[in-house]
Amino acid sequence: MDLADEQLIDAEIDSAPPPSPGATRSLAARFVLGASLVLIAFNLRPVFSSLSVLLPEIMQATGLSPSGASLMTTLPVLCLGLFAPVAPELARRFGAERTILAMLAVLAVGTGVRGLATVPALLAGSVLAGAGIAVVNVLLPGLVKRDFPTHAAMMTGLYTMALCAGAAGAAGFTVPLEHALGGSWPRALAIWAAPAVAVILLWVPQALFRAPHARPARPHGTGLWRDALAWQVTLFMGLQSALAYCVFGWLAPILRERGLEAVTAGAVVSASVLVQMLACLVVPSIAVRGRDQRLINVLLLCAAVAGLLGCLFAPLSTVWFWALLQGSGQGGLIAVAMTLIILRSPDPHVAAHLSGMAQGVGYTLAAAGPLLLGLLRDWTGSFDAAAVLFVGVGVAAGLCGLGAGRARHVGVADGRGV
């Protein structure tokens, strides 16, 4: 199995029977399935970037303080960590396809509820959307691995591109949609429920007319939670994600406060995320060619942090360069963080549980990034203090990256004792 195949971590690895469905599907059915998975991935990021580009209008219309806005941007990220651990149990009980169908409905409802234009609705919608995304985040790669065992590399690339395309599309098109809808920011937020509803209709036949795989879970130990290397991988995942969600949640407001128009700020964020997509495709193959990943971890962090500092302080005429630099570093960090889960694991079973640990703890930690950024803006009256946060997170991530990048495996007692 090559690295591209191994990067797809199966959330049902402890419970699902050996993969065989892909071999029995017709070409047309496999095309529909593949297209469905890619479209599902597209829906997993607009909830983050669509809110950020409209945050000044939302704060003005609702009276939301910067601290309240930071909570708004933090909640979906926090949900990624809090709800990720329940995904394997839901899949064991109901089957991955039906669980994804239900969570897509939760995502669509949460996204639509934000269009009610009240602070409670925005908060409730963020929680619902975040919970739905968290579960699908964990289950979707397992379906790709199971149903496309001979085309996993291609599907990995399409899946990653769709994630970034969803974030970039929401960042770039939400403000133009607001203008097209008569200046209604609630409708511009709620309209992102439409792609989720569309993919639900496409997914229903595949979820309801296919027997679910359901087995009781096997008990497993807690060896990873006592392993220093596992914690370094987890903290590296969480800290680099904190930078990523600061970009999703606050880069557009930062640029708008510096004087860019809303459409231009959204376009800059969109371009940064699109570059992330390219970096996600290139970096893993570079990372695995080195003796270890310590150097590439540090270089990518330097690029991501330097890009953010440039967006904060450099002349606005150069903001596109800094945004593209940030996207290059950030996209590479996302890719290498996922790659480290595989490289530091002795077998797929350990990789599955290390992935669960890294996502559950890592995304919970990542939620502190946009929260602290909003609080700093509230306390100081400007975004300048964000530089301290970016550098601090970057240094901490670099230290963890030096440990996680070492060429060794997590120290479990045996291949099954996770």
Percent of the chain at pLDDT above 90?
A: 46
Query: How high is the pLDDT of residue 210?
Result: 65
Q: How far apart are CA 145 and CA 88, in angstroms?
A: 15
pLDDT at 127: 93
Average pLDDT over residues 117-145: 87
Sign of the torsion angle spanned by Cα atoms 22, 26, 29, 30: positive
State how far the Cα of 270 lies from the Cα of 50, in Å rounded to an integer: 10
Torsion angles phi and psi, residue 37, rounded to 5: -65, -40
Q: What is the mean pLDDT of the chain?
A: 84
Q: What is the pLDDT of residues 307-322, one digit of tens each?
A: 999 999 999 999 999 9
Say whether pLDDT at 218 is over 70. Answer: no
- Asked whether 296 and 286 are in contact (CB, 8 A), the reply is yes
CB of 245 within 8 A of CB of 389? no
Side-chain-facing half-sphere of 19: CA atoms under 13 Å:
16
Q: How far is CA 203 from CA 39, 199, 219, in A?
A: 10, 6, 32
| Residues 6+ positions from 11 with CB-CB distance below 8 Å | 87, 88, 91, 96, 138, 139, 141, 142, 352, 355, 356
Q: What is the pLDDT of residue 212?
A: 54
Q: Please give the average per-residue pLDDT across 270-282, as a whole number.
A: 86
Is a pLDDT exceeding 60 seen at residue 5?
A: no
**Which residue carries 């004087």 as its tokens?**
259
Of 401, 209, 205, 214, residue with least CA distance to 305: 401
The answer on pLDDT for 12 being more than 80 is no
Q: What is the DSSP letter of 418?
A: -
Q: What does pTM read for this prediction?
A: 0.78
Q: How confident is the model at residue 1 (pLDDT cuts 50, 70, 90)?
A: very low
Among 138, 155, 158, 164, smallest CA distance to 5 is for: 155
What's the confidence (pLDDT) of residue 17? 47
d(CA 48, CA 269) in angstroms, rounded, equals 12
Q: Which domains does the chain have, with CATH numbers?
A: 3-404 (1.20.1250.20)
CA-nearest of 215, 199, 217 to 207 is 199
27 contact partners, CB below 8 Å, separation of at least 6: none
pLDDT of residue 163: 82
Backbone φ and ψ for 410, nearest 5 degrees, come out as -60, 145
Q: Give the separation between CA 257 and CA 312, rounded to whole angstroms.
A: 10
DSSP-based helix, strand, coil % in the chain, nearest 5: 80, 0, 20
pLDDT at residue 137 in the model: 82
Please tell me the least confidently modeled range out of 296-300, 302-306, 337-341, 362-366. Answer: 337-341
Q: What is the pLDDT of residue 159?
A: 75
Comparing 10 with 95, which gets the higher pLDDT?
Answer: 95
Which of 192, 134, 137 minimizes the C-alpha distance to 163?
137
Cα distance between residue 257 and residue 248, in whole Å:
16
Confidence band of 340 (pLDDT split at 50, 70, 90): confident
**Residue 157 confidence class, pLDDT cut points 50, 70, 90:** low
Query: Residue 231: which pLDDT band, with cuts at 50, 70 and 90?
Result: very high
Helix (H) or strand (E) segment spanning residue 366: helix 348-366
- Our measurement of the distance from residue 139's CA atom to the centroid of its chain's CA atoms, rounded to an integer in Å, reads 13
Are the CB atoms for 384 and 109 separated by under 8 Å?
no
The rounded radius of gyration (Å) of the Cα atoms in the chain is 20
Q: What is each CA distance from 138 to 10, 70, 127, 144, 408, in whole angstroms?
A: 8, 25, 17, 11, 25
At 165, is the pLDDT very low, low, confident or very high (cuts 50, 70, 90)?
confident
Nearest Cα to 12, choosing from 23, 3, 21, 2? 21
pLDDT of residue 89: 83
What are the pLDDT digits (tens) for 74-109? 888 889 888 988 888 888 888 889 999 999 999 999
What integer pLDDT is reported at residue 416 of this predicted model?
A: 43
